[in-house]
Amino acid sequence: MDVIAFNRDNHLELVSEWLKARGMNKMLAQEVPQFGYICFNEHEPICAGFLRKVEGGYMFMDSLITNPIAAPHLRDKAIDLVVTELIESAKDLGISKILANSTDSNTLERSKKHGFQALPEHVVIVLEL
């Protein structure tokens, strides 16, 4: 498997297709950050993930998504590879913390393997304008 830098011109349509196949709004692809990676198994795209820079030396891990028709074992491996690459890149940039959120129990369990810790006293809220 190969992990390469995400290129909006080459890869944005893939993310849109994955969102649509998962019953999500494909326009969400327009909101992915510039900084990200995509993992391929041979020439098949499997997973993409992104980091969004915020103030205070933090980054937010954002929009992790997989190809819904890829084999589950490939998706599993690709997620780990992309997350590892995002973490290493954040370290190289001197980032002090990576924030993330999820309600998916598998994602939350996987996050522990990468060193993330749940903060039960925090709740993510949003105001759409």
Q: Are 4 and 43 in contact (CB under 8 A)?
A: no
pTM, whole model, 2 decimals?
0.87
pLDDT of residue 127: 66
Q: Which two tokens stand for residue 37?
A: 């990676």
Q: Give which of 42, 32, 41 is closest to 7, Cα–Cα.
A: 32
Q: What is the mean pLDDT of the chain?
A: 90
| Number of neighbouring beta carbons within 10 Å of residue 64 | 19
Bridge partners for 2 per DSSP: 40
Residues in the chain predicted with pLDDT less than 70, given as ranges, are 127
Q: Give which of 47, 37, 43 is closest to 5, Cα–Cα.
A: 37
